[in-house]
Amino acid sequence: MAKILIIEDDKLLSDAYKLILEKHGHKVVVAHNGKKGLEKAALHKPKIILLDLLMPEMDGIEFLEAYRSKNSLKGVAIVVLSNLGDEKKVEKAIKLGAYKYIVKAHAKPDELSLIVNHLVGKDLARTRK
């Protein structure tokens, strides 16, 4: 299906996302901070990135800024997953190229899989400009 990078510092949550997404046939790689996320994105070239905003070493906004400066966002759908309700951070993430913002507390891992499958089915990851 799709190559997915999960950048999430909560190991239990990232493991749950990974397990469910792999169950649906996706190839999944995990990083636990933005700095490792940049390394794994360069190495694995994911089509979808699931990105937490609050992380150690390099947060999600810093990741988006660094990733965008080094890579074209064409061909990559970045979905921000956070419990952060800060409208300014959400707006900034969208301006930096995030495709969608999802509040983690409202999205169970199975629902996240539906969102990813929707992205793959609609082929939005490839048509992103």
User: Tell me: the pLDDT tens digits for 35-82?
Assistant: 999 999 999 999 999 999 989 899 999 999 999 888 766 778 899 988
Confidence of residue 95 (pLDDT cuts 50, 70, 90): very high
Q: What's the CATH code of the domain at 35?
A: 3.40.50.2300
What DSSP assignment string belongs to 12-67? HHHHHHHHHHHHTT-EEEEESSHHHHHHHHHHH--SEEEE-SS-SSS-HHHHHHHH
pTM over 0.85, yes/no: yes
Q: Domain total for the chain?
A: 1
Among residues of the chain, what percentage have pLDDT more than 70? 90
Quote the domain boundaries for residue 109.
3-127
